[in-house]
Amino acid sequence: MTAHDFNTRSLELISHRPWGLPDRPWIMTQSWHDVLFAHWPIDARDVRSQVPAGFELDLFDGTAWIGIVPFHMTNVAPRGVPSLPWVSEFAELNVRTYVQVGDRPGIYFFSLDAQSRLAVFAAKRLLNLPYHAASMRVIAREGKVQYESRRDDDRVAEFAAAYRPTGLPFQAKNGTLEYFLTERYCLYNLDRRRQPYRLEIHHPPWALQVAEAQLARNNMAEAAGLSLPRTMPVLHFAKRQDMVAWAPSAVI
């Protein structure tokens, strides 16, 4: 992994955003590497019971989607603080769906597994996000990624896959499924008082590639109380994405 190389020029690319940047300073950087988007369609009724009532499900042609997204990160640091080896670099694995509040679509996380116990503690404490510490291994070699994760406090929550891109990079067009699944600029969650909040992020448009994957083990949805359909997932890969995040704000 390579740290200390965050691309601040990404903040100058804003024309693609569905709404403007927040009018306050951002507080954190992250760089995401070797991202696999694995998505399955799922009955909205099955998802609805697992999502807080204050968040409207965001559907594509009447269908909800579940995403399982493995990647690894560098440059994880507060604004003005340099990245540090073993602190700012770690793997993460997300299980997510799509919601909206008003006219702003975003992400709702069922779980976030991370290799860093410090990151897990901080995110749970500050954001009440459903983070879990996990033992993880990521090997990226010759264009292929080997990814393994096992949750420390729940051995049922396992993921193991080998994946790689198979097509040229492209930017998804607004209105397409690829755009719906990836171009998201906020997340939604409940704070410790059970009050809804929005956490905004910014990044350039995703440089996506069609991908292939062999999923050797994948119990992540079941660990979140959901069942994936017995269909092939929609797969996309992204080599890298630089992003910034803002402090959460209450959803009124």
Query: Phi and psi dihedrals of 110, rounded to 5?
Result: -80, -35
Decide if 179 is inside a domain.
yes
Decide if 1 is inside a domain.
no
Decide if 143 is inside a domain.
yes
At residue 5, the pLDDT reads 84
pLDDT at residue 55 tops 90 = yes
Decide if 134 is inside a domain.
yes
> Which of 183-186's residues contact partners 24+ apart within 8 Å by CB, and which partners?
183/16, 183/18, 184/98, 184/105, 184/106, 184/107, 185/17, 185/18, 185/19, 185/104, 185/106, 186/104, 186/106, 186/107
Decide if 238 is inside a domain.
yes
At residue 1, the pLDDT reads 41
User: Kind of pairing, strands 104-114 and 90-101?
Assistant: antiparallel
Are the beta carbons of 37 and 145 closer than 8 angstroms? no
Quick one: which H or E segment has residue 220?
A: helix 220-223
Q: Supply the pTM of this predicted model.
A: 0.95
Average pLDDT, stretch 220-249? 96
Q: Which of 71-85, 96-110, 196-210 has the lowest mean pLDDT?
A: 71-85
Looking at residue 208, which CATH number applies to its domain? 2.40.400.10
pLDDT category at 12 given cuts 50, 70, 90 is confident
At residue 2, the pLDDT reads 45
Decide if 214 is inside a domain.
yes
Provide the CB-side half-sphere exposure for 145 (13 A, CA): 26
pLDDT at residue 22 tops 50 = yes
Question: Taking Cα atoms as reference points, which of 251, 161, 248 lies closest to residue 213?
Answer: 161
* Total of domains in the chain: 1
pLDDT at residue 215 tops 70 = yes
Decide if 17 is inside a domain.
no
pLDDT at residue 91 tops 50 = yes
Decide if 8 is inside a domain.
no
Domain that holds residue 63: 26-250
pLDDT at residue 4 tops 70 = no
